[in-house]
Structure 1
Amino acid sequence: MGDPFSLAGAGTAYQEHLAPAPLRGHFGQLWQSQLAADAGGHITVLPDGCVDILWRDGTLLVVGPDRVAAHPALAPGAQVLGARFRPGQALAALGLPLADIVGQAVPLVELKAGWAVQAAGSIGDTAPAERLQRMAQCLQQHMGAAPIDAQAQRANVLFQQLASGQASLDALAARLNLSPRSLRRFSQAQFGYGAKTLERILRLQRFLRHGRAAPLHSLAMLAADAGYADQSHLSREARELAGMTAAELRLEWGQ
């Protein structure tokens, strides 16, 4: 969930905060989503190249990177809490190939995190308004310290450059001193899929950001601003990655 507009559903309230300083070695943002008491069913989560730790239904989960939109089912009034890993930090923190959890939600306890069951219960026993703070305390206790090593720094450069659209894959490979094939393997290790897929996902996220910043722009103008060849290219990518038209995406997330 790379930005507040990656998740939508009827009656969904979403808030995002910068992770507190003790957690910033691993995590960039903490967030929470609250469904209204009369709202439930499936929500839509767009791919964003990120990995999150979620508290949902009383369990701590690791949610791997998505290739296409996900549609988790939530009960009416459900609360979901999340901690989003910084680019490049999930691999180091979790110690498993991210390609193995693409599109999956895995209980954190299954990843040799025996503390996860007690922590999840502690979060659930806390008042709803204070649960995100309690989750942060649990993560700080068990996952707070994290060095930013060279591989994580390279992964962050790759992510930020693709998110901004400021460099081609060939240029990034040269900047990172990698061959195109090595860049693909590096991206698979750090993000769960190759750099080309990551580029497509982050370009779609860029379209959503531009749509919010320039609500009067046409789809053709936004497509050009986001780096698509033309509006038809945007339309194909929207359907393949999000399962909806570009106009529907803009209506749902670009307001």
Structure 2
Amino acid sequence: MHAATEPVPYIELQNTLLDVKSIEALWCYRASSSLPQLILPDGRMDLVAHCLPAEDGVLTRVWLALAGPADQPGTLNAIVGQVSVGVRFRIGWGGLCLGVQPAMLRNRVMVGRDVVRQTGVRAEPILEATTVPALRDALVNAVHVITNRARPGPTHERALAAIAEMQAAPPGERRGWVRHDAAPRTLRRDVLVAAGLPLRSLAGILRFQRAMRLLKAGEMRSLGELALEAGFSDQAHMTREFRRFGGFTPSLPQAAPIVG
């Protein structure tokens, strides 16, 4: 089996200020080439500050991007030397914190002034930052403000609980969301509104991401063992899901940042 290697330029940074209930990671990516970087769907939303540092480290350009929840693979076309600092929201929290409808951003990336107009983020300190550390701190401070004021209502709380149970359920087991008092159709609607993706798609994405983490670890002896451990019904099912969410097969995985 081939191990799925993660590109070196992507790292997750220490996060001591942001609320772990709503924020999954603070991350940084530095483009070392002009080749498109594969981005795998993970069901999350990311608020990203892109910048171009000069040789002395001073930023010559800063712009914002908001990546919506995706159920398709995408690519990042970056400039060599471009640095991106991002905040990844937990599934179901991005739209609530940012004041946008996740479904409207499905498989889309909002860029530039539209991000400022459509969200509650105070963008001035981010856009005026002159160094990467200052940019990171400004982004963290801005997200800290919006997460502190985010208050999920009862239906959103129910969706968040269902998503959390789905993520915690052992691979292959029937998902915990069926235990809720709400009718399955109501709960599926709540999850769609909160996360911007159908619950079934979310389950497939989580299964795919788990399989990619196992591939990266290189501990599976066969594709059949990988399919079983990741929660697929069989190897053929895993191959279909890899083609859907990654555009490749598990026997020939491509390098991409992997959540978790």
TM bracket (short chain): 0.7 to 0.9
Q: Could you tell me whether the CA contact under 8 Å between 2:102 and 2:194 is conserved in 1?
A: yes
Counterpart in 2 of 1:48? 42
Q: Taking structure 1 as reference, are residues 119 and 104 closer, same or farther at Cα in structure 2, changes over 3 Å only?
A: farther
Counterpart in 2 of 1:154? 158
Instruction: Using CA pairs under 8 Å that are at least 6 residues apart, name the structure with larger relative contact order, 1 or 2.
Output: 2
Deviations along 1:110-140, one digit per CA (max 9) or x if unpaired, are 2154732x233223x1x22453233212333
For 1:141 and 1:197, the matched residues in 2 are separated by 31
Structure with more of its chain in helix, by fraction: 1
Q: Give, in angstroms, the shift of residue 154 of structure 1.
A: 3.2
| AA aligned opposite 1:76 | V
SS class of match (2:212): helix
Give the structure-1-normalised TM-score.
0.81
RMSD: 2.8
Counterpart in 2 of 1:111? 118
Q: How does 1:180-195 map to 2 (within 5 A)?
A: 180-195=184-199
Q: How does 1:1-40 map to 2 (within 5 A)?
A: 12-17=8-13, 19-24=15-20, 26-36=22-32, 39-40=33-34
Q: Taking structure 1 as reference, are residues 248 and 52 closer, same or farther at Cα in structure 2, changes over 3 Å only?
A: same
| AA aligned opposite 1:73 | N
The number of equivalent residue pairs is 241
Q: Could you tell me whether the CA contact under 8 Å between 2:48 and 2:65 is conserved in 1?
A: yes
Q: Could you tell me whether the CA contact under 8 Å between 1:7 and 1:45 is conserved in 2?
A: no
Deviations along 1:147-173, one digit per CA (max 9) or x if unpaired, are 46544543333333333443424x513
Alignment of 1:172 onto 2:168: no
Q: Give, in angstroms, the shift of residue 142 of structure 1.
A: 5.3
- Structure 2 gaps of 5+ residues are 52-61
Counterpart in 2 of 1:243? 247
Alignment of 1:76 onto 2:80: yes
Q: Give, in angstroms, the shift of residue 213 of structure 1.
A: 3.9
Give the structure-2-normalised TM-score.
0.80
SS class of match (1:247): coil
Identical positions, percent: 23
Q: Could you tell me whether the CA contact under 8 Å between 2:45 and 2:94 is conserved in 1?
A: yes
Counterpart in 1 of 2:57? none
- Structure 1 gaps of 5+ residues are 1-5
| AA aligned opposite 1:54 | V
Q: Give, in angstroms, the shift of residue 20 of structure 1.
A: 2.7
